[in-house]
Amino acid sequence: MRNKPARKLQELLRLPPGERVDLSRYDARATPGAPDGKQAAQAAADRMGKQLARLQERLWAAATAGDHRRVLLVLQGMDTSGKGGTVKHVIGQLNPSGCRITAFKAPTEEEREHDFLWRVRRALPGPGEIGIFDRSHYEDVLIARVRHLARPAEIGSRYGLINDFERSLAEDGVALVKCFLHLSYDEQRRRLLRRLDRPDKHWKFAPGDIDERALWPAYQEAYELALERCAAPYAPWYLVPADRRWYRDWAISRLLLERLRDLDPRYPEADFDVADCRERLLKQT
Amino acid sequence: MRNKPARKLQELLRLPPGERVDLSRYDARATPGAPDGKQAAQAAADRMGKQLARLQERLWAAATAGDHRRVLLVLQGMDTSGKGGTVKHVIGQLNPSGCRITAFKAPTEEEREHDFLWRVRRALPGPGEIGIFDRSHYEDVLIARVRHLARPAEIGSRYGLINDFERSLAEDGVALVKCFLHLSYDEQRRRLLRRLDRPDKHWKFAPGDIDERALWPAYQEAYELALERCAAPYAPWYLVPADRRWYRDWAISRLLLERLRDLDPRYPEADFDVADCRERLLKQT
């Protein structure tokens, strides 16, 4: 049984910065680097959950002693690609008090009065936290491009602004993990149909989802541009095949785990006299 | 084996509004209403975790259709009483995207420029969310009282302001679950000593914790006043014996579960034509 991928998953899934991306070349049902089969992957993901929680505690503890580092997981993908499921199953294994989760919706009136990065800056994780973006500033070069929500020149300028922004984050100690959940057109139909079949899933559905789906090719193109123009060594994009839920959860757990291990946060040394404190405590009646 | 408490735990742990509270009369090692023994309670808490997650999803789904209700869990208790542990173990079983957790620290300069409820209002859960306060506005009648951080008359006025505030929350659809984690003086010493014994727990310790502990009687008195003056039918205080961690987790899971069942949130009906949507989806090639 092959429990550990030979190479780092980061290397397997990372899109090379600056290279053209052709999404049609990637199989959304693929399982690169995964343990053999669904059950083994789920068991591995459970084990990783515990490891992630331990590393998260260290990251948090280090922050109490001035370590400014934090993690930011960016989740992007078409409707039903599993952004919410990732939060539930992967992030759900962490200590919720150290997670800062933001689901970005259509911008509010207040948000539209500011530049497109304003609301993102306000949602960043603090030192020691793990931030999770369910959608993100990338929507401003995705739906904004497909739906012509801004002038082409303005949208064109956003790629550079995003790169500058993400570089400044990286320099400020933010470890970026950007995941594109790559779903196939057919699997999206199956998932939307399932939402229609189950009355307890109707709340997740809106007829507008069908209109968005009709724009699939335009969305894929917008994604290809974003993935190509905004991948950088300090802010890589990972293409996560997402037709199989168990693979998606395993892969994102693994990517987070590898990143946290790279950071290698440490419990801080006591900045007080431990023996003296013990004595004082024992003296208190 | 007695898996279900005969009465609602709410009734067993609720402090009667308006009655004098004498904390010394409550055993912090007691386990009122619990299943027999630690293992049975942990198994029951695991099962409740799944039930809580299902009810949480319903609460969230109902909010998408205009239901304004939400839950606010307020956790108060002395240092080491297990507020953080409750978030980790009880709230950790929920979907993190529907939780809004705030740990209130000493107020910042900006917060001190506003009235004491300002920062609390900004941290309230939105419709469908479960809010969790690790410490809360009660600190302004607890440490503020013990440490003389405001004039006595001002502190005296805060109980009424808190009651008005919580009544307005309840009228606005906020289901309040206020838990006082009742820890014994001896158990606090054991827990502080354990933090000193383990280098990976040193970051949780500060010598100032010993100074706070020296004020134990004053804190107990401040708690008694707050529990007596700010318990109301719409915003009850539950006294949760907290010397045994497994009981604390079981009891708070149970209190949340009972509250959510009382709310009985429902999945909303589809406000669109399901058959028509299915047909449109199947027609898309």
Task: Decide if pLDDT at A6 tops 70.
Answer: no
How far is it, in rounded angstroms, from Cα A241 to Cα A182? Answer: 5
Whether chain B has a CB inside 8 Å of the CB on A84: the answer is yes
Compute CA distances A247 → A7, A13, A19, A134, B65, whole Å.
17, 12, 25, 18, 32
Q: Which domains does chain B show, CATH number per domain?
A: 9-185+216-283 (3.40.50.300)
Question: What's the N-to-C CA distance of chain A in angstroms?
Answer: 58
- Residue of A95, A104, A134, A212 to mutate when probing chain B, most B C-beta within 10 A: A95
DSSP string, A57-82: HHHHHHHTTT---EEEEEEEESTTSS
Task: Decide if pLDDT at B1 tops 70.
Answer: no
pLDDT of residue A176: 98
Provide the chain B residues 61-80 that lie in CB contact (below 8 A) with chain A: 61, 64-65
A163-175 pLDDT, tens digit per residue, is 999 999 999 999 9
Of A103, A200, A274, the CB nearest to B97: A103
Chain B residue with minimum CA distance to A84: B97
Task: Decide if pLDDT at B5 tops 80.
Answer: no
How far is it, in rounded angstroms, from Cα B284 to Cα B69? Answer: 38
Cβ-defined contact of A88 to B101 (cutoff 8 Å) = no
Whether chain B has a CB inside 8 Å of the CB on A94: the answer is yes
A19-74 pLDDT, tens digit per residue, is 999 999 999 999 999 999 999 999 999 999 999 999 999 999 999 999 999 999 99
Whether chain A has a CB inside 8 Å of the CB on B285: the answer is no
Query: Which residues of chain A have a CB within 8 Å of the CB of B134?
Result: 97
Task: Decide if pLDDT at B89 tops 60.
Answer: yes
Cβ-defined contact of B281 to A193 (cutoff 8 Å) = yes
Q: What is the mean pLDDT of chain A?
A: 96
Whether chain B has a CB inside 8 Å of the CB on A210: the answer is yes
- Residue of B281, B282, B283 to mutate when probing chain A, most A C-beta within 10 A: B281
Of B189, B203, B278, the CB nearest to A65: B203
Contact A192, A206 (CB under 8 A): no
Compute CA distances A50 → A57, A90, A262, B12, B109, whole Å.
11, 11, 17, 35, 37
Chain A residue with minimum CA distance to B280: A210
> If you ran DSSP here, which 8-state letter would residue A232 be given?
B
Cα-trace Rg, chain A: 21
The single-letter code of the amino acid at B57 is: E
Residue B50 has phi, psi (to 5 degrees) of: -70, -40
pLDDT of residue A1: 46
Whether chain B has a CB inside 8 Å of the CB on A3: the answer is no
Whether chain A has a CB inside 8 Å of the CB on B95: the answer is yes
pLDDT of residue A35: 95
Chain A: closest CA distance from residue B164 (Å):
29
Chain A: closest CA distance from residue B56 (Å):
12
Query: Which residues of chain A have a CB within 8 Å of the CB of B49?
Result: none
How far is it, in rounded angstroms, from Cα B54 to Cα B52? Answer: 5
- Split at pLDDT 50, 70, 90, the class of A151 is very high
Name the strands in the sheet holding A237-241, side by side, starting at the edge strand that comes first in the sequence.
A99-103, A130-134, A70-77, A174-182, A237-241
How far is it, in rounded angstroms, from Cα B285 to Cα A11? Answer: 35
Contact B183, B77 (CB under 8 A): yes
